[in-house]
Amino acid sequence: MEQVKKGKLIIIKRDPPKNRTSDDYSEFRKKMDDRRRKVGKLYSYVENFLNSFPKLKRRTDIMHLAIKISERLHIPIDRNAKRLNEPLICWFCENWFQVYKYILPVYIEMYAQPETQNSNVQNLGKDQDFQRLDQEIQKIMQEIGDMDQFNLDENIDKITRSVSSDIPSQNDQ
């Protein structure tokens, strides 16, 4: 764009449009799309399941839960899952058969009131918040239903971390 002022020629330079995607980002998207394809319909159910918890609304909250679970089970969290929400949900999906049993106990451990933590499990059943949470979990688990409909296998061989993971798989070690 050129403008003429008092006999001087002024040239305004602009940077190229930023809506162009870099090769690195397009490669990352391909890997994420492949990862999402591998987990299939389970992704949306797991995402709804995790978001049904009252205090797990932000990615950082879900990340804290994933870190606690990964420490217990010694399952590494890949680099992208630590940074972004979509790979984090994929991490839960990829490790679902190992992780789902620990989600509620770790959540209670993290967010329960101190007096609730010290009481026995029978008292947790009387707490209205935990009853509502349990009902919500049961409803979502019912929606998930039989995992065979998602073509998932118990030995989790079909669902593997994508090539984008910076952690070697168990077969590589």
- Per the structure, the complete domain to which residue 120 belongs is given by 36-149
> Is the residue at 52 inside a domain?
yes
Q: Is residue 137 part of a domain?
A: yes
CA dihedral in degrees (62, 54, 71, 173; nearest 10)?
-40
DSSP-derived pairing of the beta strands 8-11 and 2-5: antiparallel
Decide if 105 is inside a domain.
Answer: yes
Cα first-last separation, the chain: 59
Our count of domains for the chain comes to 1
Q: What is the pLDDT of residues 45-66, one digit of tens each?
A: 888 888 888 888 898 999 999 9
Phi, then psi, of 40 in degrees rounded to 5: 60, -140
**Residue 1 lies inside a defined structural domain of this protein:** no
For the chain (173 residues), the mean pLDDT of every run of 10, in chain order, is 61 68 82 90 88 86 93 93 92 90 87 57 57 70 57 43 43 46
Please give the pLDDT value at position 95.
92
Chain-centre distance for alpha carbon 59: 8
Residue 95 belongs to a domain: yes
pLDDT at 163: 37
What pLDDT shows up at residue 91? 94
pLDDT value at residue 87: 94
Which residues are 82's β-sheet partners? none
Q: What is the pLDDT of residue 121?
A: 52
Does residue 5 form part of some domain? no
Residue 26 lies in a domain: no
Evaluate whether residue 6 is within a structural domain. no
